Chain A
Amino acid sequence: DIQMTQSPSSLSASVGDRVTITCRASQSISRYLNWYQQKPGKAPKLLIYAASSLQSGVPSRFSGSGSGTDFTLTISSLQPEDFAAYFCQQSYSTPPTFGQGTSLEIK
């Protein structure tokens, strides 16, 4: 299985901050990388697919980049509703695997 490693595991930030979360794959996955947001007690929500494509309805302050083994999710200006957990997921090979998650907390 392809291992996905996110950093940091947790992050404290303030409203208006620019935040970057990193995801690293144990082998090259081209651009087969998705990002999800999960709020407590809720299902994950797709934010970004194919490393940098914004899912319909997702605010433009979210962006993704990277290819191969290294990827980033950036939130350009944090809003109160963005405090949540974020997961990356590779869809390059079966089984699809997720990162362990990054918890974004209010400073």
Chain B
Amino acid sequence: QVQLQESGPGLVKPSGTLSLTCAVSGGSINNSNWWSWVRQPPGKGLEWIGEIYHSGSTNYNPSLKSRVTMSVDKSKSQFSLKLSSVTAADTAVYYCARVGKGGLLGFVFLDYWGQGTLVTVSS
């Protein structure tokens, strides 16, 4: 059973950089899955931030692309998110998730999720 666990500071100052790590256990980060970050502002909907492959290849949401950097550390079986120049609008619960695949047409979905971590942007 794959398990994911987010970690990082729960409070970030405006204009600072949000940094989170997702530890993967119960499965290999080196397999054919992509690994994703999703966020959810309090009381609101879900926003896809981006995804990373174990090779380091990334795809980012164009709305956040200029501020997002993702990386992977295969030796530690973890991947990370950095979001720069944060404002109060970046206050959200941040989830990491595995991108699963199914069917012959390559359907993708988020099948394993971390518990989420609340990051508040405030001075």
Q: Do residues A44 and B107 form an inter-chain contact, with CB atoms below 8 A?
A: no
Q: A42, A45, A50, A87: which has the most chain B beta carbons within 10 Å?
A: A50
Q: Is A53 an interface residue (CB 8 A)?
A: yes
Q: Do residues B109 and A91 form an inter-chain contact, with CB atoms below 8 A?
A: yes
Q: Do residues B114 and A91 form an inter-chain contact, with CB atoms below 8 A?
A: no
Interface size on A, residues (CB 8 A): 26
Q: B59, B105, B108, B116: which has the most chain A beta carbons within 10 Å?
A: B108
Q: Is A94 an interface residue (CB 8 A)?
A: yes
User: Which one of A12-20, A73-81, A97-105 is at the interface?
Assistant: A97-105
Chain A 8-32: CB-based contact to B (< 8 A → 1; otherwise 0): 0000000000000000000000111
Complex alpha-carbon distance, A9 and B95, angstroms: 23
Q: Is A72 an interface residue (CB 8 A)?
A: no
Q: Do residues B46 and A98 form an inter-chain contact, with CB atoms below 8 A?
A: yes
Q: Do residues B102 and A43 form an inter-chain contact, with CB atoms below 8 A?
A: no
A–B Cβ pairs within 8 angstroms, 9 of them = A42-B116, A43-B95, A44-B110, A53-B107, A91-B109, A94-B59, A95-B62, A95-B63, A98-B47
Q: Which residues of A contact B (CB under 8 A)?
A: 1, 30-32, 34, 36, 42-46, 49-50, 53, 55, 87, 89, 91, 94-101
